[in-house]
């Protein structure tokens, strides 16, 4: 009889150390002024891991970061991974109340915050440390420079949590999706294989790091030994320069950003560098923008589909300059999936069904929310709430969301988040928020309200801006009679009928 042995499961720390040995001089992470090779990244994150350990961060703990895109964020992610801890990336676009709630879910040992966003966590009784650059001093002087560049003595495992992303919830409150080291490496392997990426394909991380695409890609680049380029938000001039200078793998473009980039590309006579894939979410982008962007960059459009809880799940591209009628997505073979009809059975070809997913890329849980975890993960399957249909050729097509969601400029917004705030305005009887298609942002929220008095739009907008991120503020407020809300037989408002009135 043959004998088998089981080795220790691969961790993120292993991957970084392996790259430091085999590709020590390749650039691992950079911005416009600084860069770290893989050897340097390994050493500096060893030192930072010791610094975090001195601050009482241990295996199973959470460290949070609140700040715009920076190299320091990347260093924190790899340092906490070496301790078996997790990094929770907080959304600096949110209000103080929203940030405080996210902190209460993640329960971080320490929050590293850029000084510009310190005011967002005054309501939280949590240890805060300034996240600064070497020029500013404190972060490096306190957590890196005093410590040795030796591997920390930490007993870590591939099932340890490594990344926490706060997602919006149907109740109007976020959930903290916790993802393990194993799942992140599985996502990296999927992305590299399905997108046919190489070590020479850099990633331009301009999307906020509290987003799936920038968070996941730190691990894709580490797995490939490629370069992760940090850009502080959608800076069209910086991005345009990189497009003409650096070979990219997946150049992410979101609704709302394409128009400005296209205008800048038109004015630049230089040839662009090679790009394997451009774009995301073709369902929400005007065909004319897809056509022009792919022509200007001479790259196929990536018709993506994925989610925080399961990572990227599809592959499928649209050739430059085209917009075929047959616009679909193919599911990866590296995740099991099914489209469940109302009775739970597999939906027939052509019929919509809820996407259920299982496989190595799945998140572990919603932190400190057993009820939400039990509802989302059933018998090992993640119930996405997304409705898709499969055609005769095996493509899947996005239909809608069983849990009504608005996707504006790449941001997820659940109506309940906005409705909860507007219901606090005096005189309001009922609020229903629906989506409106928008050429620039993909979708935007519109609020329908019933009230006992004539509502002041300025007051409604001020209430939203006080308690919500700016992108969640409705673009329009419509006051109607409470009897004019379209309802089903159980009295529930039918949002799709209200959409016809926006």
User: Are 312 and 335 in contact, with CB atoms under 8 Å apart?
Assistant: no
pLDDT at 294 exceeding the cut of 80 = yes
Tens digit of pLDDT for each residue in 28-45? 999 999 999 999 999 999
| pLDDT at position 123 | 73
The answer to the question of residue 262 being in a domain is: no
Q: Which residues contact 501 (CB under 8 A, 6 or more apart)?
A: 448, 478
Task: Tell whether the model's pLDDT for residue 5 goes beyond 60.
Answer: no
Residue 20 lies in a domain: yes
Residue 377 binned pLDDT confidence (cut-offs 50, 70, 90):
very high
Q: How many CB atoms lie within 10 A of CB 135?
A: 7
pLDDT band for position 106 (50/70/90)? very high
3-state helix, strand, coil in the chain (%, to 5): 30, 25, 40
Q: In the predicted model, is pLDDT for residue 488 greater than 80?
A: no
Helices (H) and strands (E) in the chain, counts: 14, 29
- Among residues 213, 233, 253, the one where a domain terminates is 233
- The angle, 0 to 180 degrees and rounded to 10, between the axes of the packed helices 38-54 and 71-83 is 70
| Domain interval for residue 154 | 12-233
Residue 358 lies in a domain: no
Q: Tell me what pLDDT residue 285 has.
A: 76
270 part of a folded domain = no
259 within domain boundaries: no
Q: Using alpha carbons only, give the angle 454, 456, 459 rounded to the nearest 5 degrees.
A: 145
Domain membership of residue 222 (yes or no) is: yes
Could you say which of 233, 268, 291 is where a domain stops?
Answer: 233
Domain-located, residue 391? no
Counting Cβ atoms within 10 Å, is residue 203 exposed (0-12), middle (13-18) or buried (19+)?
buried
Specify the pLDDT at position 489: 45
The pLDDT tens digits for 296-317 are 999 999 988 888 999 988 877 8
Q: Which two tokens stand for residue 140?
A: 């490096």
Q: What does the alpha-carbon distance between residue 331 and residue 337 come to, in Å, rounded to a whole number?
A: 8
pLDDT class of 289 with cuts at 50, 70, 90 = confident
Give the tens place of pLDDT for each residue, 420-449: 889 888 888 889 999 999 988 999 999 999
- Decide the pairing of beta strands 35-37 and 27-30: antiparallel
Q: Is 454 helix (H, G, I), strand (E, B) or coil?
A: coil
What does the block give as tokens for 52? 């975090």
CATH number at residue 426: 3.30.300.30
Flag whether pLDDT at 491 surpasses 60.
no
Q: What is the pLDDT of residues 64-84, one digit of tens each?
A: 999 999 999 999 999 999 999
Taking residues 251-263, report their average pLDDT: 89
The reported pLDDT for the residue numbered 327 is: 65
Report the CATH number that the domain containing residue 187 is assigned in CATH. Answer: 3.40.50.12780
Residue 353 falls inside a structural domain? no
pLDDT of residue 205: 97
Considering 191, 207, 233, which residue would you say is the last residue of a domain? 233
For the whole model, what pTM was predicted?
0.86
Residue 484's CB is within 10 A of a number of other CB atoms, namely 10
The mean pLDDT of 104-117, rounded to a whole number, is: 96
Angle (CA) 40-46-58 rounded to 5° is: 155
Give how many domains the chain has, as a whole number: 2
């Amino acid at each position: 009889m043959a004998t088998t042995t089981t080795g220790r499961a691969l961790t993120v720390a292993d991957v970084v150390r392996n790259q430091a040995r085999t590709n020590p001089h390749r650039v691992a992470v950079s911005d416009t002024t600084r860069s770290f090779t893989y050897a340097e990244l390994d050493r500096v994150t060893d030192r930072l891991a010791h610094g975090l350990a001195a601050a009482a961060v241990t295996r199973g703990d959470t460290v949070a970061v609140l700040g715009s895109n920076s190299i320091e964020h990347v260093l924190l992610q790899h340092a906490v991974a070496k301790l078996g801890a997790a990094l929770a990336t907080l959304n600096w676009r949110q209000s103080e109340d929203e940030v405080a709630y996210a902190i209460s879910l993640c329960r971080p040992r320490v929050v590293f915050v850029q000084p510009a966003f310190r005011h967002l966590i005054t309501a939280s009784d949590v240890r805060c440390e300034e996240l600064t650059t070497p020029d500013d001093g404190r972060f490096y002087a306190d957590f890196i420079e005093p410590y040795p560049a030796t591997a920390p003595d930490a007993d870590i495992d591939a099932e340890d949590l490594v990344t926490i992303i706060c997602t919006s919830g149907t109740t109007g409150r976020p959930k903290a999706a916790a993802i393990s080291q194993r799942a992140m490496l599985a996502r990296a392997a999927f992305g590299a294989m399905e997108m046919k990426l190489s070590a020479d394909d850099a990633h331009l991380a301009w999307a906020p790091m509290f987003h799936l695409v920038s968070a996941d890609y730190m691990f894709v680049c580490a797995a490939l030994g490629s370069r992760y380029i940090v850009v502080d938000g959608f800076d069209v001039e910086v991005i345009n320069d990189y497009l003409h200078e650096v070979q990219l793998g997946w150049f992410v473009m979101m609704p709302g950003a394409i128009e400005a980039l296209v205008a800048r590309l038109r004015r630049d006579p230089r040839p662009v560098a090679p790009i394997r894939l451009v774009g995301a979410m073709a369902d929400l982008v005007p065909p004319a923008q897809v056509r022009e962007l792919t022509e200007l960059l001479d790259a196929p459009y990536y018709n993506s589909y994925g989610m925080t809880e399961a990572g990227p799940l599809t592959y499928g591209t649209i050739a430059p300059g085209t917009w075929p009628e047959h616009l679909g997505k193919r599911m990866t073979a590296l995740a099991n999936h099914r489209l469940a009809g109302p009775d739970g059975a597999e939906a027939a070809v052509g019929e919509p069904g809820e996407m259920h997913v299982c496989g190595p890329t799945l998140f572990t849980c919603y932190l400190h929310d057993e009820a939400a975890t039990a509802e989302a993960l059933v018998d090992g399957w993640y119930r996405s709430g997304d409705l898709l249909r499969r055609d005769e050729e095996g493509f899947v097509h996005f239909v809608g969301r069983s849990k009504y969601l608005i996707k504006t400029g790449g941001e997820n917004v659940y109506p309940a988040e906005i409705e909860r705030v507007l219901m606090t305005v005096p005189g309001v009887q009922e609020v229903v928020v629906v989506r409106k298609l928008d050429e620039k942002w993909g979708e935007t929220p519109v609020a329908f309200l019933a009230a006992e008095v004539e509502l002041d739009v300025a007051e409604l907008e001020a209430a939203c801006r006080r308690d919500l991120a700016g992108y969640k503020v409705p673009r329009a407020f419509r006051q109607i009679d409470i009897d004019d809300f379209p309802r089903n037989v159980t009295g529930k408002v039918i949002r799709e009928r209200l959409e016809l009135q926006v």
